[in-house]
Amino acid sequence: MKFFVDTANLDQIKEAFDLGVLDGVTTNPSLMAKEGITGQKKILDHYVKICEIADGPVSAEVISTDFKGIIKEGEKLADLHPNIVVKVPMIKDGVKALRYFSDNGIKTNCTLIFSAGQAILAAKAGATYLSPFIGRLDDTSWDGMELISQIVHIYNTHGYETEVLAASIRNPLHIVKCAEMGADVVTCPLNSILGLLNHPLTDIGLAKFLEDHKKANQ
């Protein structure tokens, strides 16, 4: 399972890659706004900065919602750097755009997925990645992990090549569950990735090893 970091914060992206377990980056318009990146030029420049740090796919989301606009914006984003993946929302014109990008060799990430039906459409349209939002489903009392399991089953059954990129991850347990269920990728906040490190018995065990070593070597 690949690990992507879900942020537009350059320091966090650097820290995540320095850890040596990262495979890519996802962003969205809310994450860009959170970093204070506004205006088309600054936004495009920021994607290039992310690509210079990240050694792997970088999802950059379109703002347009009509077919022509999505294509124009997506082609401009794809021209920025070979690692750019054009993130397209699950809407009717988005599905048409996924097919266009797929036919023209541009990688895509179909975002805002909340149902298996949407996942089937995106795969049929040739999406490279599919982003089901686990945390946002959990927030509405639906089981986000159940959706991941259902989509993985459908994709495996029918041999769809679209990769399941589990998004809206809120904690380390989501990551572990995604691994169990066969998600191809998880995109996570840095804190959830770092949360995988933690176990009290590791801390207690290490303290004891160091203490015993110190005593024996006094």
Q: By the criterion CB under 6 A, which residues form the site for ligand E4P?
A: 6, 26, 28, 111, 131, 133, 135-136, 167-168, 187
Tell me how far apart the alpha carbons of residues 77 and 67 are, in angstroms, rounded to a whole number.
15
Check residue 159 and give left, alpha or beta (phi > 0: left; psi -120 to 50: alpha).
left
Burial class (CB in 10 A: 0-12, 13-18, 19+), 6: buried
Least Cβ distance, residue 131 to ligand E4P (angstroms): 5
Least Cβ distance, residue 33 to ligand E4P (angstroms): 12
Of the candidates 21, 18, 8, 40, the residue with the CA atom closest to the CA atom of residue 185:
21
Q: Maximum Cα–Cα distance for the chain, whole Å? A: 73
Q: Which is nearer to ligand E4P, 114 or 202 (CB)?
A: 114
Burial class (CB in 10 A: 0-12, 13-18, 19+), 103: exposed
Least Cβ distance, residue 162 to ligand E4P (angstroms): 15
Distance of CA 37 to the CA centre of its chain: 19
Q: Which is nearer to ligand E4P, 148 or 200 (CB)?
A: 148
Q: Which is nearer to ligand E4P, 6 or 73 (CB)?
A: 6
Q: Is 41 a catalytic residue?
A: no
Beta bridge partners of 111: 89
Least Cβ distance, residue 23 to ligand E4P (angstroms): 14
| Active-site annotation holder among 42, 87, 92, 107 | 87
Q: Which is nearer to ligand E4P, 59 or 203 (CB)?
A: 59
Residues belonging to the active site: 87
